[in-house]
Amino acid sequence: MDVQTLTFIIVGASFAMYIAIAIWARAGSTKEFYVAGGGVPPVANGMATAADWMSAASFISMAGIISFVGYDGGVYLMGWTGGYVLLALCLAPYLRKFGKFTVPDFIGDRYYSQTARTVAVICAIFICFTYIAGQMRGVGVVFSRFLEVDIETGVYIGMVIVFFYAVLGGMKGITYTQVAQYCVLVFAYLVPAIFISLMMTGHVLPQTGFGATLTDGSGMYVLDKLDGLSAELGFAQYTEGSKSMIDVFAITAALMVGTAGLPHVIVRFFTVPKVKDTRISAAWTLVFIAIVYTTAPAVASFARVNLIDTINGKDGSGTEYAEAPTWVKNWERTGLITFNDKNGDGKMQYSAGKMEDPNSANEVKIDRDIMVLANPEIADLPAWVIALVAAGGIAAALSTTAGLLLVISTSVSHDLLKRTLKPNISDKQELIAARLAAMIAITISAYFGINPPGYVAAIVAFAFGLAASSFFPTLLMGIFSKRMNKEGAIAGMISGIVFTAGYIIYFKFVNPGANVPANWLFGISPEGIGTIGMLVNFGVAFLVCKVTSEAPEEIQQMVEDIRNPKGSSAAHAH
Amino acid sequence: MAFKDNDQAKAYWAENLSLVLKLLAVWFVVAYGCGILFVDALNEIRFFGFKLGFWFSQQGAIYTFVALIFVYVRQMTALDKKYGVDE
């Protein structure tokens, strides 16, 4: 069977499974819609949270980025996993004990202020939208390549599927669908990685394989070969990277703190029965994430060696374009690989520098996003593996989209309508509002999937910066400082966001030409500025809190209460 | 509520904080120390085919994070029992 038929079968089967689960678990009450009745076992919740967190960016883009930047890519690996430690140790158990549905709920109640709640709702919605646009695009890219439909059709198909299980199923549907999606995506990620590791190094585990010697007879270590190739072709050393230390530090911190402040991830920890289960669930989540995240850098190294060897040929003199493998031609058709035979020798030569630059010897331009999808083709793996990767990419994108949609719909129906604008609407009306909000959100995100803004990467930096400079410090102080009052929290959130957003908008949108290290504050790029924004938030909050009266007695009592793990199930008894 | 008195609640919270701070210290040293600040020095050391600093950044830190959360779960469960606030 050819790749396309297999892709139809495998992707189709996985879809059928997701829809079946969504129907089976259709939600009844409002509470089930939001948090699955608080009755999901910790390991299942861990898997679902992992699927929720691992988006199209993790599945499709991350290994590709690492493949091109080597050591510098470590910021994503450490940032996105290290944030879980913060989340698990400092936030999740306490927010679960608090026992409300959403992050703005906590901020609104803890800081006894509608203003604080509203600021939090706006941040939550903005962060989620930023993410969704990228996810819908991811679905579109996968479909358009493997099913050979145009990208619009791809996005529409994805839209219908997401609509079904997010809007009809609610959180419970999502939790169990996401468990299934995690299984699909991890299998799809590991199978090609193990295949390639075995072929190149004889190691079953990719994690040890990329630290082993190549089996091509040279006896060289994989990474030594990569460093050698990088030096030869004019790239920075693969194992050393090219970013400054302070920037690597700041980006890692911003990603960590941003992860810990992401509303769609935090809300997952409200779905387990007890505080103790929240802790266990967070631990399992990280295990399931780590399986993929420790494989990614291995995939990155293998793909890099394979790519350079295939394009430049074993002797480095270039491969005849007429004899290029089919994957080069396939991806060329999507516009994600371009070849310009500048020296007219009919061979492809890849090296550092921009292909468009007439003074550079580089003749090939390769989009980073294709590395994971093209990897099985580059390594000549069987067609069913290629089909599996397509299913995995779609699972990753869909699961994250569904989780994000849920936060958007909850924020609108619960935080904005029920808690702010129309306090006396019934449960049923609230549920209808939630479903309507999800529908509108899907439509808007599909629009962005079809007409993506030209600066998706810039917007992602924006989302993390905002989460880092708004939610994380405010939540942390809400739990660990009893005295922190509403004046401090609101002033802190607003100054953190304004500083971070201002810096990013200036360098990314207003004056992109000035976006070079010499102009950066302390040498920190816009991707890492959330770290400083977080410090601004903390600083302002404590200063303002010092000169205003401390939080009222009953709030201090409430903080006292969330520090005590006992009695959480009572909050979810009805 | 569940604590016998206020002192018990305070003692529980103090032990909780000290555990979290200890774990976060390890977290910081491994991720930011080994993976970023001292990466050049550690890269002088070979660990199989890896430079050690590079290995920490792309593998070691992640394994440490997983271990940290499991230690946290175990210690907190014990702490909850000790103060009678387990469920």
Determine the Cα–Cα distance for residues A397 and A406; give it in Å rounded to an integer: 14
Lookup: tokens for A430: 């609230």
Output the pLDDT for position A135.
74
Nearest CA in chain B to A80: B62
Write the residue in A88, A248, A274 that is nearest to B87 by C-beta: A274
Q: Which long-range contacts (CB under 8 A, 24 or more apart) does A35-39 make?
A: A35/A101, A35/A171, A35/A267, A35/A270, A35/A271, A36/A170, A36/A171, A36/A172, A36/A175, A36/A271, A37/A172, A37/A572, A38/A270, A38/A271, A38/A272, A38/A273, A38/A569, A38/A572, A39/A271, A39/A273
Q: Of B9, B32, B43, which is closest to A249 when you measure between CB atoms?
A: B32
Mutate to test the interface with A, among B3, B15, B62 (most CBs of A within 10 A): B62
pLDDT at B9: 86
B43 touches chain A (CB under 8 A): yes
Q: What percent of chain A has pLDDT over 90?
A: 14
Residue of B nearest to A88 (CA): B69
How far apart (Å, rounded) are the C-alpha atoms in residues A540 and A491? Answer: 7
- Mapped to the 3 state alphabet, what secondary structure does A294-324 carry? HHHHHHHHHHHHHHHHHHHCCCCCCEEHHHC
Round to whole Å and give the CA distance between A541 and A535.
10
What count of other Cβ atoms lies within 10 Å of the Cβ of residue B72? 21
DSSP secondary structure code for residue A147 in this structure: T
The amino acid present at A553, given as its one-letter code, is E
Which residues of chain A have a CB within 8 Å of the CB of B10? Answer: none
How does the average pLDDT of chain A come out, rounded? Answer: 82
Q: Is the pLDDT of residue B1 over 70?
A: no
Q: CA nearest A169: which of A38, A18, A16, A23? A: A23
Interchain proximity B62–A249, CB inside 8 Å:
no
Give the pair of three-digit tokens for residue A64: 């590709």
Whether B85 and A564 lie within 8 Å, measured CB to CB: yes
Other beta carbons less than 10 A from residue A23's beta carbon: 13
* pLDDT over 70 percentage in chain A: 90
Question: Span A155-172, mean pLDDT?
Answer: 67
pLDDT tens, position by position, A23-59 = 776 655 555 555 554 567 778 888 888 888 888 777 8
Partner-chain contact A89 B72, CB within 8 Å: yes
* Region of poorest pLDDT, from A80-89, A152-161, A464-473, A548-557: A152-161
How many A/B residue pairs have CB atoms within 8 Å? 143
Residues with Cβ within 8 Å of A368's Cβ and at least 6 positions away in sequence, in order, are A61, A64, A65, A67, A68
Q: Are residues A179 and A166 in contact, defined by beta-carbon separation less than 8 angstroms? A: no
Q: Quick one: pLDDT band at residue A474, thresholds 50, 70, 90?
A: very high
Residue A265 sits at the vertex; the CA angle it makes with A62 and A48, to the nearest 5 degrees, is 80
Q: One-letter amino acid identity for A103? A: V
Q: Quote the pLDDT of residue A24.
A: 74
- Number of Cβ within a 10 Å radius of residue A460: 19
The pLDDT value given to residue A573: 32
Nearest chain B Cα distance for residue A361, angstroms: 30
Confidence check: pLDDT of A368 > 50:
yes
Complex ipTM: 0.93
With an 8 Å Cβ cutoff, are B63 and A85 in contact? no
Quickly list H helices, A234-370: 245-260, 263-266, 275-312, 326-334
3-state secondary structure of B39: helix
For A478-490, how does the pLDDT look when each residue is reduced to its tens digit (9 = 90+)?
Answer: 999 988 999 999 9
pLDDT band at A167 (very low <50, low <70, confident <90, very high): low
Indicate the residue type of A143: F
Rg (CA), chain A: 24
Q: Tokens in use for A375? A: 């990897």
Q: What is the pLDDT of residue A29?
A: 52
Q: Cβ neighbours of residue A323 under 8 Å, at least 6 residues apart?
A: none
What is the model's pLDDT at position A570? 43
CA–CA distance, A60 with A47 (Å, rounded to integer): 19
Q: What's the predicted TM-score (pTM) here?
A: 0.88
Residue A164 has pLDDT above 90, yes or no: no
Query: Distance (Å) from the C-alpha of residue B41 to the closest C-alpha of chain A?
Result: 12
DSSP letter for each residue of A170-218: HHHHHHHHHHHHHHHHHHHHHHHHHHHHHHHHS-S-HHHHTTSB-TTTT
Q: Whose structure tokens read 């904080």?
A: B17
